[in-house]
Amino acid sequence: MDRLFKQSDVRIRGCTGSDFLLSWSFSQFLIPNFSSILGIFAMRNLLWTLNAKRMSAKKAAKTKYTEKELKEFEDLINEKLEKAQKELHTLKASLTRESDDSGDNFSSVKTLEDGADTAEKEQLSQLAGRQQKFINNLENALVRIKNGTYGICIDTGKLISKERLRAVPHTQHSIAAKMNKSS
């Protein structure tokens, strides 16, 4: 009698192209009758069914946030945007006030205060630049909400966690992508 299998591997190819390998050891596997052949086909059908269920569960994963969730993020971003614009206005007012006050000093006399004033203006200018960049990022996040791409990582294509979006609502990177970039 011939043996059908001594040792065999069965490969199942899923819908997404991912392979997984099931190894079966068949020692002394004989096909004495028709019922054994039916058993092999039943096992094959069971494996295909399990793979189909695994693939449909994978496809059921959430790919974008609902309208209600997007509205929540939009409200959060609008709050932060309003606060950031007020802070930028305050910084700009401080810069212009510093410029106006510098005309009152004697221009012929250089003192240590002039150096301190210059350093303070430079620091305020840097803060204003950072604040403007933050405002631009928040406005871009609002555009992504309108486009339906908000909350999707630009590196992995997966959803960014709600916790991360609440902490940094203008982010375009998931924590995993950010960690990969920094390492």
Same domain, yes or no: 16 and 104: no
pTM of the predicted structure, to 2 decimals = 0.60
| Percentage of residues in the chain having pLDDT higher than 70 | 57
Is residue 32 predicted with pLDDT exceeding 80?
A: no
Between 52 and 5, the higher pLDDT residue: 52
Same domain, yes or no: 105 and 52: no
Domain boundary, last residue among 42, 59, 76? 59
Determine, yes or no, domain membership for 22.
yes
Determine, yes or no, domain membership for 149.
yes
Same domain, yes or no: 101 and 172: yes
Same domain, yes or no: 98 and 141: yes
Domain boundary, last residue among 22, 43, 59? 59
Q: What would the 3-class secondary structure string for the chain be?
A: CCCCECCEEEEEECCCCCEEEEEECCCCECCCCHHHHHHHHHHHHHHHHHHHHHHHHHHCCCCCCCHHHHHHHHHHHHHHHHHHHHHHHHHHHHHHHHHHHHHHCCCCCCCHHHHHHHHHHHHHHHHHHHHHHHHHHHHHHHHHHHHCCCCECCCCCCECCHHHHHHCCCCCCCHHHHHHHHC
Query: According to the model, what pLDDT value does residue 77 have?
Result: 98
| Percentage of residues in the chain having pLDDT higher than 90 | 46
Same domain, yes or no: 79 and 27: no
Same domain, yes or no: 88 and 176: yes
Same domain, yes or no: 114 and 144: yes
Same domain, yes or no: 55 and 71: no
Same domain, yes or no: 97 and 24: no
Confidence of residue 102 (pLDDT cuts 50, 70, 90): low
- Show the domain range for 176: 67-182
* CB neighbour list of residue 163: distance below 8 Å, 6 or more residues apart: none
| Of 133-137, 139-143, 174-178, the least confident | 174-178
Determine, yes or no, domain membership for 115.
yes
Same domain, yes or no: 114 and 40: no
Q: How far apart are CA 7 and CA 170, in angstroms?
A: 55
Q: How far apart are CA 177 and CA 181, in angstroms?
A: 6
Q: What angle do CA 22, 57, 156 make, to 5 degrees?
A: 95
Tokens 């009698």 belong to which residue? 1
Across 3-7, 26-30, 54-58, 76-80, which has the greatest mean pLDDT?
Answer: 76-80
Same domain, yes or no: 151 and 110: yes
Same domain, yes or no: 120 and 96: yes
Q: How many domains does the chain have?
A: 2
* CB neighbour list of residue 96: distance below 8 Å, 6 or more residues apart: none
Determine, yes or no, domain membership for 141.
yes
We report the CATH number of the domain holding residue 148 as 1.20.120.910
In the beta sheet, which residues pair with residue 9? 23
At 149-178, the pLDDT tens digits run 999 999 999 999 999 999 999 999 999 999
Determine, yes or no, domain membership for 2.
no
